[in-house]
Amino acid sequence: MEKMRTALLLVSALAAFAQAPSTPTAAPKKPAAPKSAEAAPAKNFKLSGSPSAACTIEIYTDYECPHCRRLYLETMPEILTKYLNTNKIQVLHRDFPLPGHQYSKLAARYANAAGQIGKYEMAVTQIFTTQADWSQNGNIDGAMAKVFAQADMVKIREMVKNDSHLDDSVTADFAMGQKDGLTETPTIMIVKGGKRERISGFMPANILGSYLDQKLAQK
């Protein structure tokens, strides 16, 4: 009788255990998602050279100006080799389209669109090189298409046509030029120690280089 009572108690205990709600297992915690890094500021494709350079030259040009073409194609290659590539200076391009040149703003749009895809210098060189052609009819697109890949031209054309902010840097450059008292292009501003010094007109590489040497020698 005692054995039967023990067996009944065991059966009841097992039944009660089976009906009892199971304790839910805590779901493993997912690792916290890493905080997204802050977006790095967009690089100014018009600026080149080391930030630690002692001096910056800001070059105001108009793409239809023949003297600007000479400065860019004749003077600047030597200046870039001797001073920019040796981290002595930074160079900042500034657009200053003159009212009498009807295609200058369009040329700046093409150059700045190319800058958005990392090919600003390539565009500037081609635009100045072919100045005599496109300045007659405004066919900057045709001049660019001679050296840019078709896929790049598709992107550039889309920006030139639809990007409402493409002229923002041109507007800012023109306003700065007025503040700097520009009267002609090309104009070079030599910036050192917080001071801005203006040099107007075309300047051969040897003369500009001598001037830069003097400025860099000053403490």
| Global confidence as pTM | 0.80
pLDDT above 50 for 202: yes
Predicted local confidence at residue 212, as pLDDT: 97
Kindly state the tokens that stand for 192.
């050192």
Distance CA 110, CA 95 (A): 12
Predicted local confidence at residue 42, as pLDDT: 62
Predicted local confidence at residue 3, as pLDDT: 42
Predicted local confidence at residue 43, as pLDDT: 74
Classify domain 47-217 at the CATH superfamily level. Glutaredoxin (3.40.30.10)
- Residues 139-197 have pLDDT tens digits of 999 999 999 999 999 999 999 999 999 999 999 999 999 999 998 999 999 999 999 99
pLDDT above 50 for 54: yes
pLDDT, mean of residues 39-65? 89
How crowded is residue 55: how many other Cβ atoms within 10 Å of its Cβ? 17
Predicted local confidence at residue 6, as pLDDT: 40
Q: Are 59 and 71 in contact (CB under 8 A)?
A: yes
pLDDT above 70 for 20: no
Predicted local confidence at residue 5, as pLDDT: 46
Q: What is the bridge-based pairing of β-strands 187-192 and 89-95? A: unpaired
Ordered by start, the domain boundaries in the chain are 47-217
Kindly state the tokens that stand for 132.
């005599």
Predicted local confidence at residue 219, as pLDDT: 82
